[in-house]
Structure 1
C-alpha cells in the first residue's frame, strides 16, 4: 500500500526511478535524464490547420509515446471526433484523454473563445495506466472491467474529466478516489456553451472519465486558491439544505455584513462574483477550504444561501476574490512543488477555474506565464474548468497543477 498523499502535495513512490522503456538522453556530465514529453498548441479557424501546427511542434513521435492528452476549445466541439482520429492516425498513439473547455492552456499560453488545440504525448509503459470511459451512475461496470488490472497494478492517482450537469459527478469523484491507493484524483469539469464533452479514447459525455496511473508513475500535484478569507471562522449554528440561518448564534446575514465591511454591506447586489463562502476542510494541515458561491440573500429574515449543503456545527468563513492574493498563492504553490521535484518534470497538466485566467490574473496569458517563469519550458497542457478536482473533492476558483517526473 502506498503512503497516502500529504494534502495537495506528494511525490509518488518510484518518482525518481528509471522506468522501463522510457526515453533517456545523456547530459554533458554523462548522467542519464528523462526526456520531456512532446507537445504542441495552436489556434486556427480551420481545425486541420491547428492540428497540423501542433504536429509540426511535436515533430518525430517517440516510440515510447503511449498516451495522448488533448484539450480543445468548445468552438471545435463539433469536430472533436475528427480531431482525435487525426491525431491518432498521425502519431500512432491509440489512447487519449482530455476535455473541451471555454478556454484551454499550454506552456505560457492561454486560448479563449477561439478554435484552439493543446496536445501532449505522454510516455508510460502501457501496463502503468488505464483509460476508462464515462461513469454515469455508479462504478459497478468500472469494477468489472478494470478489477483485474487494478489488482495487478494498484492505481495510485487518476486524471479525470467530468460533466457538470450530472448531479452524481461529485459522488462519483469520491467513489473513484477510493479505488486509488492514495485516495487522490486531479482534473476538472468540462466547460462549454453546449454539450460538456470529454475524451477517453473517443468522445465521452454525461459522466466522469479519464485515466488511472499505477504507483510506478512519478507524479506530483498541488493546488492554488483564488480567493482569500476576509474574516474569522464561524460555526454554523442553524441551517437547512443550502441556507445559512445563524452563524455563531447570530443571523447569518448580520455576520456576513460585519465581515465584508460597511461599504459593501450598503449594497449587497455587488457581492456576486466577489464575495464567497469558504468551507474549511476538516483535518487539513494546510488550512485548505472549498469556495462556494453565494446564491441568495433574504434581508427580511437574515438568511444567506450558498452553493453547497450546510451542516450545523461545521465551520464557515467568508472569502473575497482577490487577484493579488491569487498571484501570491500561485507563487507559493509553484515554489512548493518545485522544491519537491527530484528532477526536471517531463510534462504537466494544469486545470484552472474559468473565474481565474484572464478574469483574475489579467490578459496576455498572465497566469500561464507566471507558471512558465517559475518552472521554465516544461511541457504543460490543460483547460479552464467549470469546477476543479483535487483529492476527492470538487473545488472552485482554484488551479490544480500535476507534474510527471
Structure 2
C-alpha cells in the first residue's frame, strides 16, 4: 500500500507557495506510483490566482485530474492556514476507472461509461440556487447515497475546481466501489434542552413546539426568565442555535449529544407578542428540534471519537492511505483554544503519519445534509 503524496506552504506570493509545494511533491515521487487524482485547496488570499495555480499544476503533473475549492482557511498535517495565505495539495494513485470528475450534479452519472458512482466528494457555493435540492439529487445518483464535502468559504469569490476553475455551483469527484472510503461527521454543538416536536411552522417561522409557544420553550430550555429585556434576549439567542432533525430521519444519539442527522441552524429573529422564533431554515410540522449551544470540550471529545472510529475501519480494510478533513469556518484552532489545534488533533489521532489536508467551509456536507459547526473526516483505505 502506498501513502498519498501531499504538500503545503504559506506565502503571500502564490508562485513561491506553489513552487514550495511542487518541490515537496518531487521529493516524494521517486518512491510513489504515478498519481491520477489531485486535491488543491487554497485560501482566499490566492483567489485571483486560482486559474494560474490549476494551470501550473496541470502543466507540472500531466495526467492528474484536479478537484478542490477556496476557503477562508485550509489545513494540512498539524498546520492551519486560517485567514492567511496558503496552498495545500494531495495526490492519489487510484485504480483505473475508480473515479470520475463532474462539473454539475446532472453529470454525476457514470452509466454511459460503465462507471458505478458509490460515493462522491462535492464542493459548492452557498449561493447555488436550490442547493439543498441539488444535494439530494446528487445523493440519489450514488449507490450508497453518501456525499462528503463542503461549501467554499471564500470572502471574495466562491470558486470550485474540477479540472477547471468553476464559478461556484456544485462539482466534485465520484468514487467507484474500487476506492475504499470511510467517512464520519463530528458535531460541534451540544443540546441544552430536550428534543421537541415542531407542531406548527410556516416557512422559517417556528410557532409552536410540543403544542407550546416556541419562545416559551426556548425560555424554559435555556433557563431564561420571560421578563428578560429585549437586548439581553437578543444576546442570549445569538448564542443559542436550533438543532433540527427532518421528518422521517433517525433522531437517535448518545445522551447529551446530537446524532449525525441533526442540522444546526441560527435563530435569526424573535416575535415576543406572538411567541414565535425565526430560524435560518425552512421548517415543517413534524420536524424534531432541540436548542443547543457551541461547546468546545464536547466538540473535542466527539472529534476524537469519530477519528478513532474511522481509523479502526480503515486499518481493518488494509490501512490508511490519505485523509480529508473539512471543518466549519467557525471552528478551527481558535475555537479549540490555540492556533492549529483542530488539525493537530486530527493528525495526531490518525497516528501522525497519514497524509491529511482539508479546508474550513461555509457549510459541511455529508450524505444529503448541509451542516454547520461540524467536521467531516474521510479516510481512503486499501491494502
Task: Indicate whether the TM-score tops 0.5.
Answer: yes
- Within a 5 Å distance, the mapping from 1:82-101 to structure 2 comes to 82-101=52-71
Name the SS for the 1:40 alignment partner: strand
The whole-number CA distance in structure 2 between the counterparts of 1:91 and 1:213 is 21
In structure 1, stretches of 5+ residues that fail to align are 1-33
SS of 1:320's equivalent? strand
**1:247-286 deviations in Å (ceiling 9; x for gaps):** 1111101100111113798322223552100113522554
Aligned partners of 1:107, 1:401: CA distance in 2, in Å? 13
Cα 1:323/1:158, change in 2 over 3 Å: same
- CA 1:74–1:265 in 2, change beyond 3 Å: closer, same or farther? farther
Of 4, 9, 31, 1:42 maps to 9
CA contact (8 A) 1:134 1:206 kept: no
Q: Encode CA deviations 1:62-103: one digit per residue, 9 max, x unaligned.
A: 443001100000110000111111122222243100000001
Where in structure 2 are the equivalents of 1:85-124 lying within 5 Å? 85-124=55-94
Residue 362 of structure 2 is matched in structure 1 by 386
**Pairing 1:117-156 to 2, within 5 Å after superposition:** 117-135=87-105, 139=106, 142=107, 146-149=110-113, 152-156=114-118
Taking structure 2 as the reference length, the TM-score comes to: 0.91
Aligned counterparts of 1:309 and 1:76: Cα–Cα separation in 2: 35
What residue is the counterpart of 2:131 in the other structure? 169
Closer, same or farther: CA 336–187 of 1 in aligned 2, 3 Å: same
Change (3 A) 1:338 1:63: closer
Number of aligned positions between the proteins: 364
Measured against aligned partners, the alpha-carbon deviations of 1:186-237 in whole angstroms (never above 9, x if no partner) come to 0001011121000000101231000000011111000100001111011112
Q: Secondary structure at the match of 2:141?
A: coil
1:213 corresponds to which of 175, 181, 187: 175
8 Å CA contact 2:149–2:366 kept in 1: the answer is yes
Runs of at least 4 residues off by over 6 Å: none
- RMSD, aligned α-carbons: 1.7
CA contact 1:276–1:291 (8 Å) conserved in 2: yes
TM-score (norm 1): 0.86
* Pair 1:283-2:258 in alignment: no
Distance verdict in 2 for CA 1:273–1:167, change over 3 Å: farther
Q: Which deviates more from structure 2 when the two are superposed, residues 52-61 or residues 345-354?
A: 52-61
* Residue 307 (1) aligns with residue 272 (2): no
Q: Distance in 2 between matches of 1:358 and 1:331?
A: 15
Contact kept in structure 2, 1:153 and 1:215, CA below 8 Å: no
Alpha carbons 2:347, 2:356 under 8 Å: kept: no
Match among 179, 188, 211 for residue 249 of structure 1: 211
Unaligned 5+ runs, structure 2: 254-258
- Residue matched to 2:49: 79
